[in-house]
Amino acid sequence: MKKRARKRKRLKRMLLLFGGAAAFAALLALFIVLIVRLSCHKPEPTNAVATAAPSPYETALPTETPTPVPTATAKPPITDDWYAARTDLLEQYVRAFGGLSDESEIRARVAGMAIDPAQKRVAFTFDDGPQDDLTDAVLDICEQYNARVTFFIMGRHIVGHEPQLKRMLALGCEIGNHTWDHADVETLTAEQMRQQIEDVNRTLFSVLGYRCHLFRPPYIRYGDKGSETRNTLIGILRDNEMAIVNHTRSSHDTYSTYSADRIYERCVAETDELGHGLHNSIILCHDKTEKTVEAFRRIVPTLQERGYQFVTVSELLYCSEDGFHVGWIYSKAD
């Protein structure tokens, strides 16, 4: 009996041993399988860049972009302070001398004098007036074509020609100083020079309330560089906040050999004999001969068709890179 009991115990121990070994073997096999699987899996690298999801705005775009419809754009404005002051002053002159009472008409008239900085410009000037019929004819052309010019007048012509002077300002034109009676400044004393210039300014202000800032010396004579005459003149002009205006090109309308046709051809040539172009140029004319008026009547539409704006000398200078400076001498705008 005891032998049989010992055999049963030995058998149980063997069964338990084999069972434990089998369980261990199963666990070991499972562990090996897990290791093999893990070794076959390749994780994402830590520095991988994530792909962004497509934007809903991008996916909503059509496959074909429609052709845009062109729309009208406003002309580039001039935002400088001088342009705002110039426009305000024009409005005052149009209101005072333009014969308009309706504010919308006044503003429309001034708006028609706008400057497009992207368009070519030229400044025509007329010396020695105002005259009666001839200055009126030049103003008629300016009004017809919405052109602005600069008149360098003599002081002794102011009284008696107030209507022409007022019309100049109402049309946006500019008035410059050409001495009281066409005096050659190189022959004057300092006191005489000052009187010739300041008497014109005082009379213009008393008649029109107009302040003159441009001076053109008769015969285009203002002393050699560094001379006492020029230094004296520049000092007087600085005292009066003025500058000298020479010219880029003369029309030669005072030459007896120049007809209206020759004046016209000279003024519309894109380049003169010195190589100066028309853009930003100052053209010298006189409102005292019929041939000049006849030529000017053809010059304006011709140049406007080429894209030129007719502006005053001050507008031309202020639109340039240098601008306007008291005491300077200008022959063109740079």
Q: Which domains does the chain have, with CATH numbers?
A: 77-114 (no CATH), 121-330 (3.20.20.370)
Q: Are 300 and 268 in contact (CB under 8 A)?
A: no
**pTM for the model:** 0.78
One-letter amino acid of 46? T
Residue 43: its pLDDT value, please? 34
Q: What is the mean pLDDT of the chain?
A: 84
Residue 79: its pLDDT value, please? 87
| DSSP for 21-68, written as a single string | HHHHHHHHHHHHHHHHHHHH--PPPTTPPPPPPPPHHHHTS-SSPPPP
- Residue 5 in this model has a pLDDT that exceeds 70: no
**Which two three-digit tokens encode residue 120?**
């070519």
Compute the average pLDDT of residues 240-254.
98
Residue 69: its pLDDT value, please? 37
Compute the average pLDDT of residues 121-145.
97
Compute the average pLDDT of residues 306-330.
97
The more confidently predicted of residues 60 and 278 is 278
Residue 333: its pLDDT value, please? 86
Phi, psi of 329 (to 5 degrees): -115, 120
- Name, in order, each residue with C-beta under 8 angstroms of 127's C-beta and a sequence gap of 6 or more: 152, 178, 216, 218, 284, 285, 286, 287
Q: Are 152 and 159 in contact (CB under 8 A)?
A: no
